[in-house]
A and B are shown apart, each in its own frame.
Chain A
């Protein structure tokens, strides 16, 4: 039998309403109030403990509440964590998300919750955990508890589970490939979608277009002739022996190479290891990707103050945003320490 711990608020523990919302965290053995419905719907899992915390306590003393609850969970054996269902109760929903996120990370167990789509907690925490779409009020208690308990039971048993939409939880922004032999071939799906689109009938795209992320705009450099410029490239320019073993595609590694004593990059000393394009030109003259030659001229002419003594390199092809963001985070400290004022990023 696997073990689950539930989190509920003061109201669903039967302690009281708004007047008891400052209730400090406590843990009780077994089921209490709202966690009964979950326990009843679980398969091969039992609820061993229930954590209770007042919504205002969590809201106003977040750090303290989380610390206290984690202290209570320390040393307890459990395989999964439930919070809620929180319906449309906003503070409760946010509290469920806050505590679940921490418990997932610290105790390495999956967390499950349920909220109404108008509960702000759903949007805030959907990327971090499985939150089922629930009813508006406690009238939906049994159905909502049933949905997340049944799903969690299947996950813990290692059974196959469907997509967010099929299962009824808010998508976590994780897009994965599925094979389904009952799925029509792509050709037929496309032709049907086209016939629907031509006939102004409804259709559902399989790849919804997300909104663009914007980066805050940085202030410009005031005086270029005093500025230090760093060069980064995603075209895979490396010394010919590729000392950092940067991958030719789907890169997870990057390197930086000293150019302080060079006027230009020479073919034969540097090359590209990028697998996504014809390397012929860049191997012959790496400056077509990493323009040290012209930058050095400008440095000598006094147009720019200084070229940062290293250039930074990785490969962009097939490299995921997550890896790219991590590599950028790793490149930033040495660039900042060298008092660099601006970055030239060349991508291929």
Chain B
């Protein structure tokens, strides 16, 4: 498969009469954009607010982030097959255009849930989320999804799907334009590679997607399919980069990977950069994080089998989540090592507020090479911001994984003056195990 990703670097986003991209400026016709959002009648209220890096803005509760994209020279108009539109087809081959340096961010106007998070656009808080570094076009919306209004776990379907549609709508404005640069991901079939490439150590990238909920509507999707109901499978890296995977709505958010993260997966890019030089990048094994031990063991067994069948010498294994998913991570790591596949893990830790808890709930001496991206329970205290996009109260009120209504010692997460205290757990996609993280955990 050969994927050409045409880049359009967005330097400014404004509202105007027509939706267009010119000289680095993305102009949005708000009415037209909101009409796309309102195609779903469950959206009862919607607005667009721009948050730029360096601005004194705090966004919460954030549910999803998506990079605006479109397909070029394709007979299909829906960018996320199986999720938006009706056509199901293979992605990862051909040309797609992307508005770089920005995301469409789905934000609750009022209500948050366990897997929602917070993003600060400046100050100390901007160190904790990748999304602090890019311009976020925030879709701030409310819905009539009464069945889950006061549930801690929400599917957030209307807002998340509106985010995907809006990203598609904005992406379409660069469909006919010539990109400033083109990134090419050309990875031939495994058996059709030059001997110079075949002689290099071959590696797979294993992603443990979020599939903790039994009921549909919460989990990560591949081409619209709930990955809870799958066994690990092989995917072409280009498919991951080109809209086949959708982030879910369940995981404590610092551990979560948004759709934007899959679209831009830095570990795939880093492996692709080494392909043909130091490594032979075989592909991506998509695994899951189900809730019964036998399912975890079965997935580990399949991952090891696929790696072994492909003849992989090495693997990078990335865990989305912590707590019981640590058991999947360690089981998979051990299965790969036992199959003779030299493995490096990427994960975050839960060492407690005092840093003294065991890092992962399940560990094995065989997992001897791990890149650590954060401590979910690290306490973070941040001053008030001038503007809040969404509703600050949600952090403490709605059961976000890193917020609380009251605490005997620390008081409430959200204080009257607008300052906050929270666990890293609630930083939107904060631990960036997908590969961005310029964070780690060290012993003090």
The chain A residues found within 8 Å of chain B, CB to CB, are 163-166, 171-181, 183-191, 193-195, 197-199, 203, 205-207, 209-210, 247-250, 252, 275-280, 317-318, 320-323
* Interface of chain B residues 193 through 223 with chain A (CB within 8 A): 201, 203, 212-215
B213 and A174 contact, CB distance less than 8 A: no
A317 and B114 contact, CB distance less than 8 A: no
Q: What's the least CB distance linking B60 to chain A, in Å?
A: 17
Assess A275 versus B214: contact at CB under 8 Å? Given A174-B444, A321-B357.
no
B324 and A276 contact, CB distance less than 8 A: yes
Cβ contacts A to B, 16 pairs, < 8 Å: A163-B443, A175-B356, A175-B441, A176-B444, A185-B436, A186-B437, A187-B346, A191-B271, A194-B314, A195-B201, A205-B369, A207-B359, A275-B401, A276-B324, A278-B212, A321-B356
B interface secondary structure, majority: loop
What residue in chain B is nearest A174 (Cβ atoms)?
Answer: B355
B267 and A187 contact, CB distance less than 8 A: yes
B371 and A189 contact, CB distance less than 8 A: yes
Q: Mark B128-142, 1 if CB is under 8 A from A, else 0.
A: 100000000000000
Report the bound CA distance from A183 to B355 in whole Å.
21
Q: Is B92 an interface residue (CB 8 A)?
A: no
Q: Is B316 an interface residue (CB 8 A)?
A: yes
Interface size class of B (residues with CB under 8 A): 35 or more
CB-contact partner of A207 in B128, B271, B372, under 8 A? B372
A193 and B127 contact, CB distance less than 8 A: no
Interface segment, one of B20-28, B77-85, B241-249, B375-383 = B375-383
What residue in chain A is nearest B274 (Cβ atoms)?
Answer: A191
Report the bound CA distance from A210 to B278 in whole Å.
32
CB-contact partner of B352 in A194, A249, A279, A322, under 8 A? A322
B323 and A276 contact, CB distance less than 8 A: yes
Assess A187 versus B443: contact at CB under 8 Å? Given A198-B313, A205-B368, A277-B291.
no
B440 and A178 contact, CB distance less than 8 A: yes
Closest 10 CB pairs of A and B: A187-B435, A320-B352, A174-B355, A163-B442, A171-B443, A187-B266, A186-B437, A207-B370, A187-B270, A320-B357
Report the bound CA distance from A337 to B363 in whole Å.
36
CB-contact partner of A209 in B128, B354, B363, B440, under 8 A? B363
B128 and A179 contact, CB distance less than 8 A: yes
* Interface of chain B residues 238 through 275 with chain A (CB within 8 A): 252, 266-267, 269-271, 274
Report the bound CA distance from A198 to B315 in whole Å.
10
Assess A198 versus B323: contact at CB under 8 Å? Given A191-B274, A275-B152, A318-B376.
no
Q: Mark B374-416, 1 if CB is under 8 A from A, else 0.
A: 1111100000000000000000000101001001100000000
Q: Mark B330-355, 1 if CB is under 8 A from A, else 0.
A: 00000000000011111101111111
Which residues of chain B have C-beta atoms less than 8 A from A276's C-beta? 212, 323-324
Report the bound CA distance from A198 to B347 in whole Å.
20
A194 and B316 contact, CB distance less than 8 A: yes
Report the bound CA distance from A308 to B344 in whole Å.
48
Q: Is B103 an interface residue (CB 8 A)?
A: no
Report the bound CA distance from A178 to B435 in whole Å.
16
Report the bound CA distance from A77 to B375 in whole Å.
37
A249 and B252 contact, CB distance less than 8 A: yes
Q: Is B175 an interface residue (CB 8 A)?
A: no
A interface secondary structure, majority: loop
What residue in chain B is nearest A187 (Cβ atoms)?
Answer: B435
Q: What's the least CB distance linking A110 to chain B, in Å?
A: 13
Report the bound CA distance from A194 to B282 in whole Å.
14
CB-contact partner of A206 in B399, B432, B441, under 8 A? B441
Q: What's the least CB distance linking B442 to chain A, in Å?
A: 4
Which residues of chain A have C-beta atoms less than 8 A from B345's C-beta? 207
Report the bound CA distance from A318 to B344 in whole Å.
24
B354 and A322 contact, CB distance less than 8 A: yes
A172 and B214 contact, CB distance less than 8 A: no
Q: What's the least CB distance linking B108 to chain A, in Å?
A: 17
Report the bound CA distance from A275 to B63 in whole Å.
17
Q: Is B286 an interface residue (CB 8 A)?
A: no
A186 and B425 contact, CB distance less than 8 A: no
Report the bound CA distance from A252 to B353 in whole Å.
12
Report the bound CA distance from A193 to B440 in whole Å.
15
B363 and A318 contact, CB distance less than 8 A: no
A188 and B443 contact, CB distance less than 8 A: no
Q: Mark B305-338, 1 if CB is under 8 A from A, else 0.
A: 0000000011110000011100000000000000
CB-contact partner of A320 in B271, B353, B372, under 8 A? B353
A178 and B344 contact, CB distance less than 8 A: no
Q: What's the least CB distance linking B193 to chain A, in Å?
A: 18
CB-contact partner of B435 in A163, A172, A186, under 8 A? A186
CB-contact partner of A278 in B214, B347, B359, under 8 A? B214
**10 extra interchain contacts, Cβ-Cβ under 8 A, other than A165-B443, A194-B316, A206-B372?**
A172-B443, A177-B424, A186-B440, A187-B435, A198-B342, A247-B404, A275-B401, A278-B291, A317-B323, A317-B324
Q: What's the least CB distance linking B339 to chain A, in Å?
A: 15
Q: Is B120 an interface residue (CB 8 A)?
A: no
Which residues of chain B have C-beta atoms less than 8 A from A279's C-beta? 153
What residue in chain A is nearest B130 (Cβ atoms)?
Answer: A185
Assess A185 versus B435: contact at CB under 8 Å? Given A205-B368, A249-B401.
yes
CB-contact partner of B437 in A163, A171, A185, A277, under 8 A? A185
Q: Is B358 an interface residue (CB 8 A)?
A: yes
Assess A178 versus B324: contact at CB under 8 Å? Given A185-B266, A198-B201, A209-B363.
no
Which residues of chain A have C-beta atoms less than 8 A from B99's C-beta? none
Residue of A171, A178, A185, A247 most packed against chain B (CB within 10 A)? A185
Q: Is B19 an interface residue (CB 8 A)?
A: no
Report the bound CA distance from A210 to B364 in whole Å.
9
A175 and B442 contact, CB distance less than 8 A: yes
Which residues of chain B have C-beta atoms less than 8 A from A166's C-beta? 442
Q: What's the least CB distance linking B216 to chain A, in Å?
A: 11
CB-contact partner of B359 in A175, A178, A191, under 8 A? A175
B356 and A176 contact, CB distance less than 8 A: no
Assess A184 versus B352: contact at CB under 8 Å? Given A176-B375, A176-B378.
no
Q: What's the least CB distance linking A152 to chain B, in Å?
A: 15
What residue in chain A is nearest B317 (Cβ atoms)?
Answer: A190
Which residues of chain A have C-beta atoms less than 8 A from B444's C-beta? 163-164, 171-172, 174-176
Assess A176 versus B438: contact at CB under 8 Å? Given A186-B346, A280-B214, A318-B376.
no
A320 and B377 contact, CB distance less than 8 A: yes
Assess A178 versus B441: contact at CB under 8 Å? Given A191-B274, A193-B371, A275-B401.
yes
Which residues of chain A have C-beta atoms less than 8 A from B342's C-beta? 194, 197-198
Residue of A165, A166, A172, A175 most packed against chain B (CB within 10 A)? A175
CB-contact partner of A180 in B152, B279, B436, B438, under 8 A? B438
Which residues of chain A have C-beta atoms less than 8 A from B212's C-beta? 276-278
CB-contact partner of A183 in B266, B346, B438, under 8 A? B438
Which residues of chain B have C-beta atoms less than 8 A from A278's C-beta? 153, 212-215, 291
B347 and A207 contact, CB distance less than 8 A: yes
